[in-house]
Amino acid sequence: MPTSAFIHTTSGLTIEKGSVTWESPSNIALVKYWGKKENQIPANPSISFTLSNCKTITTLYYKKLSSPSDEFQFEVYLEGKKQDDFKPKINTFFKRIEQYVPFIKEFEYKIETSNTFPHSSGIASSASGMSALALCIMSIEKELNPSLTDANFTKKASFLARLGSGSACRSLEGDLVCWGMHKEIKGTSDLFGVKYPYEVHKNFKNYQDTILLVDKGEKQVSSTVGHNLMHNHPYAENRFQQAHDNLSKLIDVFKSGDLKSFIEIVESEALTLHAMMMTSLPYFILMKPNTLEIINKIWSFRETSGLHLCFTLDAGANVHLLYPENEKLEVLDFINSQLVGYCQNGHYICDSIGFGAKLISK
């Protein structure tokens, strides 16, 4: 599909003002996206569980300007407080999407946003935040072009969200979303996320994700810097191939419900992501001593209990614990007795896989 297919065509309808609210969840990658080409095209395909409780709620107020402006006209509020430091990222997002939604310069905006998770939790809000904002913009497009189908609405929202933050394009639907072309997965594209189209065993239904907040500080390495480290990285080509291979293996795993293989793939992906950062120039270690303590505890718990708890990591020190729903009681017991001491202020967030974004009001 060419990107030109996403350019808005005018219907002749006009709007004076309005508002729309969307909520959109975060997601956690099983096969990681790390490395990109120009225009936010991923260097390898990825797949994620959409989350349910960790989400961003965004209201976009829009009002027609008397004449289109040269600059994007908007104000941003986080939890009711004006947040000027969000403006450069949103401005870049608007610049990237303008050619696909040229009407955006005809309005001025107030963006009101809030997260269900604390802003200073070390949980990136870019996936949920950018997908929620992309959906709000798409609601204006739908008002201008009512014939837009739901399927095309979601596809274009994912396409736009990707231009804000790559992983955001995997937050619109659930419960498993792929992004990036993969030869064995029908419908996959580098331009937008798609729902995983094949059979998924009941073992993965309502899978749990408990996020241990090891370090609530700002990210040490921004994603943009991180992705760029994969250019001229000595292991880049092997890593990109490995992501393709891991996705192929996951197709069988999702079908058979083989949790042992699932764990192996997911933990290997997390450690590879960090290995890429440790072996780039400049190099980074984003894990903290407590991240490693937790990983070792998980491994010995798994050994002694025979349960299927595993971990994954984002580009930071926090640990996502993934486990099947029917092991929840034992795992929560283990977290409270053995892991909570490694979390900053004893904080962790319980989440589970979810089904994507929701329109709250229009």
Smallest gap from Cβ 285 to ligand PMV, in A, equals 15
- Round to whole Å and give the CA distance between 237 and 218: 30
Smallest gap from Cβ 136 to ligand PMV, in A, equals 19
Smallest gap from Cβ 133 to ligand PMV, in A, equals 14
- Round to whole Å and give the CA distance between 160 and 140: 13
Cα 302 from chain centroid (whole Å) = 28
- Round to whole Å and give the CA distance between 84 and 90: 10
Closest CA to 156 of 143, 180, 137: 137
Smallest gap from Cβ 164 to ligand PMV, in A, equals 9
Judged by beta carbon, residue 45 or residue 324, the one nearer ligand PMV is 45
Judged by beta carbon, residue 20 or residue 349, the one nearer ligand PMV is 349
Judged by beta carbon, residue 129 or residue 324, the one nearer ligand PMV is 129
Judged by beta carbon, residue 7 or residue 278, the one nearer ligand PMV is 278
Judged by beta carbon, residue 37 or residue 362, the one nearer ligand PMV is 37
Judged by beta carbon, residue 90 or residue 140, the one nearer ligand PMV is 90
Three-state SS string over 168-220 comes to HHHCCECCEEEECCCCCCCCCCCCCEEECCCCCCHHHCCCEEEEECCCCCCCC
Smallest gap from Cβ 32 to ligand PMV, in A, equals 4
User: 126-144 and 150-164 are packed helices; what angle lies between their axes, rounded to 10 degrees?
Assistant: 140
Find the length of the chain. Answer: 362
Judged by beta carbon, residue 78 or residue 161, the one nearer ligand PMV is 161
Tokens describing residue 362: 């229009």
Judged by beta carbon, residue 85 or residue 303, the one nearer ligand PMV is 85
- Round to whole Å and give the CA distance between 200 and 225: 35
Smallest gap from Cβ 84 to ligand PMV, in A, equals 21
DSSP string, 284-325: -----HHHHHHHHHHHHHHHHH----EEEE-SSS-EEEEE-G
Smallest gap from Cβ 298 to ligand PMV, in A, equals 19
Smallest gap from Cβ 29 to ligand PMV, in A, equals 3
Chain residues in the site for ligand PMV (CB under 6 A): 29, 32-34, 46, 124, 126, 165-167, 223, 273, 314-315
User: 126-144 and 87-97 are packed helices; what angle lies between their axes, rounded to 10 degrees?
Assistant: 40
H or E element at residue 227: helix 223-228
